[in-house]
Structure 1
C-alpha cells in the first residue's frame, strides 16, 4: 500500500467504526425504550388484599400476642409465624407507607412464594406503574429471587442474581433494613404460613426502638412533650379544672409544628409527633412507656383531655388520627369497629357516637398527612370543636348484643351501613373535615 493511499483507508475505517458505534448506540437506545415500554404500565396490576376488617384487627392483635419477642424463651433464637393473610396485611400497610397507592401481596407454596407489587412511578406526569412479580425460593438463610418480571418485561435469572446483592446493600443502608438483616437468620415458606427465625438478644428491644425512633425523632417528641406540658400549665394557671378540651391543646402544639416546618423540618413528621403526644396524654400514657430512651420529656400531668365534654371521645379521635396518618383510613376505621365489637361482647355495648369520633379522627389524620402545612396553619389560629367533631348526642350508644343485632343486623348489614352514611354526612358538613373526605 502506498503512503498516499494509507490515510484514505484509515479515514474510511474510522467512518465505518463511527457508524458502527452510532448504530450500536441507536440500537441500545431503541432497546431501552422498548424495555421501558414493556416495564412501565398505565395502571396497577395487583390492587392488594381486600379492605381491612374488624376480624383482621382481631387477627393482628392475636398475631402480636403470639409473636411478642419479650416472652420468655429457651434461647436467643425466636420464630415469628404469620399466616398468608397476616403477611399480606403487613405488606399492604408497609407498601402504603413507602408510596401512596402502592400495594403488595404474597402467595405461598411449599418452599417458595410469589411476591407481587404495584408501585407508582414517582414524579411521572402521566399515570405510570411498575408491576413487579418475583418468585422467592427458600434456602438455609434468606430466600433467593427467581423469575423476576417488571410489567411485561422478563428479567433474566442472571440479572436477578446480580441485582440481589445491590438490593441487600441498599436495604442495609437503612436503619430498619440493617436491623432486619442483622437479626434474621432464616425464612421458611410453607403452603400456609411464613416463619421468620431471628435472633433476639438482651438489647433487642432497645435496638428495635432505637431504629424505629432514631435520636432526631426522640428529640422531636421531646419538644412536643415540653410544649404540651407548657399548655397544661397555662390551662391550670387560668383556673382550668381537672380536664382540658382538645381544642385548647391543638393551637400551641400545631403552632410549634408550623414554626418547625417553616424552619425546614418535615411537616408530616411534625404532625405525627404532635398527634402522638396528644394521644399519649389522652390515654394516660407516658412518653417513656413508648420510648424508654427519652429522658428529657416531662412527666405527663394528671389532666384528662376531652372532646365534646367526654374523655373517651378524645381517645377515640386521637388514636384514630394517629393510625390514619400512619396506615391510612381503612385501618383506622377497622380498629374503631373492632373496639366496638369487643365492647359488644364484653358488656359495655356498641356505641355509634364512638364510631363517629373514630371516623372524625380518621379524616383528621388523613388531612394531617395529605396537606400537613395547611392543617398546621389552620389549627395554629385556633379551631372550635364544631370544626372537627359533629354533634353526636342523638346517636345510639351502649347497645347490648341483642338490641344491636335486632335493630342493625350486625356489622355491614344495610341498617348499620345507613347509620355510617348518616355519620359521614355529619362529617361532610364540618368546616375542617368536610373537604377532606377519606380517599380509599
Structure 2
C-alpha cells in the first residue's frame, strides 16, 4: 500500500518563484474576493490558466517543500499536490468538470490509488471538522465556495470571503492558537498609554507591549499581534477581523516610526505578527511578494505617496521583524531576547546600515541585478541582509 500511495518522483515539477506579474494578478483576485466580505454578498471570480499558474507558484513558494499546481485543459480542472515523505513523495490529484453548487465533485487519486467519490467527500468533511476542532471560526467550505463553473479555458467561482481575523484563519490551518482576548487587552493597554503618554516610535510601543505580557511564546505572540494592530491602524483589518474588543479602545491618531519612517515601522510590525501567526516561510514570502508587486504599482501598498519599486530597505524591515519574532517565540532564546528588547532603541530594531540598501528598483532594474527571488544573486543578497541584521540588531 505504501508503494502504491507514494511515488519516487513528485507529480508537480519544481516551480520558479512567483513573478511580479503573477503577484499582481493574485492581489487583484484577492481584492475582488474581499469585496464580498464588505458587502456580505458572493462575488464571481474568473480565472484562466495564467491566474491559476500564479496561484500555484505562490502556494508552492509559501508552503515549500510541498508543491501545488492548478490547471485547466479541455474543460477539466486538475489540482495536483506533491509532498515529500522520507525518500518518496505523496502525490494527490483531484479532477472535476462541469458546473456545481458548492465544492465540485472531484475524482481523487493518491498515488496510483483512485479513491471512491464517497471517500473523497468524507475526507473533505474530516478536514472541515479538524479545522473546527482547532478553534477556527471558518464556516463550512460550501459557504465560502458557493458555486463553480468549469469551462474549456476559464474557471468561474462564486465566493463569499468569511468574516474573521487572521488569528482565526491561522488556527483553522493548524497554526498554534494565539489568545485573541490577550491581544485585545494588550492593544487596549497600548491605546490607553498612548493617550496619556504619547510615544512616537515603534520601539517604544514594542517595549510597552512586552511589558504587558508574561515571558512565554504565547504571551509574546499576543504582544506582537497587538503591536501590529496598533501600528497599522486601518491597514490591520486582516489581523483584527470583527473582534469588538479591539475596536472599543482607540488612541489618538499617531503614526509610529522606525528609523524615522512610518512605512518601515509597518513592515516590521506586520512581519513580526505574520511570523507569530503563520510561520517563517509564509511571512518571508509575503514580504518578497509585496516588494515585487510594488515594482509594477503606482504607489506602494504600505506607504501611499512614497516612491514605488522593489525596496531592500523594506525587505530588511520585514526580515528584522520576522527574525526578532522568531527569537521571541523560541523557548531557548525568548528570555534573553525579551531582556534586550525591554531596553532597546530604534537602531536595535532596524540597524542604520540597512538604510544604505537599494531602494525603489523598477521591475527591469530588479531583474537585471537580481533576476528573481529564487535567483542565487537575490538569495545571496538576502543572506547578506540577514547577517547585517544579526550583527546590528536583536534578531
Q: TM-score, with normalisation over the residues of structure 1?
A: 0.66
Q: Is residue 2:142 matched to residue 1:184?
A: no
Contact 1:145 1:164 survives alignment (8 Å): yes
Quote the offset at 1:133 in angstroms: 2.2
Residue in structure 2 matching 1:280, options 229, 247, 262: 229
Quote the offset at 1:336 in angstroms: 2.2
Quote the offset at 1:298 in angstroms: 2.0
Q: Secondary structure at the match of 1:308?
A: coil
CA 274–207 in structure 1, closer or farther in 2 if over 3 Å, else same: closer
CA 137–286 in structure 1, closer or farther in 2 if over 3 Å, else same: closer
CA 92–230 in structure 1, closer or farther in 2 if over 3 Å, else same: farther
Q: Secondary structure at the match of 2:90?
A: strand
Contact 2:11 2:91 survives alignment (8 Å): yes
- Measure, in 2, the Cα distance between the counterparts of 1:127 and 1:339: 39
Number of equivalent positions: 365
Q: Secondary structure at the match of 2:365?
A: coil
Quote the offset at 1:106 in angstroms: 0.8
Quote the offset at 1:381 in angstroms: 0.9
- Measure, in 2, the Cα distance between the counterparts of 1:114 and 1:242: 53
What does 1:96-107 align with in structure 2 at a 5 Å threshold? 101-107=65-71
- Measure, in 2, the Cα distance between the counterparts of 1:145 and 1:54: 32
CA 323–59 in structure 1, closer or farther in 2 if over 3 Å, else same: farther
Q: Secondary structure at the match of 2:36?
A: coil
Residue in structure 1 matching 2:245, options 279, 284, 295: 295
- Measure, in 2, the Cα distance between the counterparts of 1:39 and 1:228: 52
**Unpaired segments ≥5 residues, structure 1:** 1-34
CA 307–196 in structure 1, closer or farther in 2 if over 3 Å, else same: same
- Measure, in 1, the Cα distance between the counterparts of 2:266 and 2:180: 23
Report the counterpart of residue 427 of structure 1 in structure 2.
386
- Measure, in 2, the Cα distance between the counterparts of 1:197 and 1:409: 36
Q: Secondary structure at the match of 2:340?
A: coil
Residue in structure 2 matching 1:196, options 154, 157, 165: 157
Q: TM-score, with normalisation over the residues of structure 2?
A: 0.72
Q: Larger relative CO (CA 8 A, sep 6+): 1 or 2?
A: 2
CA 279–361 in structure 1, closer or farther in 2 if over 3 Å, else same: same
CA 280–46 in structure 1, closer or farther in 2 if over 3 Å, else same: same
Residue in structure 1 matching 2:75, options 92, 98, 111: 111
RMSD: 4.3
Q: Is residue 2:115 matched to residue 1:165?
A: no
Report the counterpart of residue 260 of structure 2 in structure 1.
309
Report the counterpart of residue 113 of structure 2 in structure 1.
155
Q: Secondary structure at the match of 1:359?
A: helix
Contact 1:145 1:160 survives alignment (8 Å): no
Report the counterpart of residue 381 of structure 1 in structure 2.
339
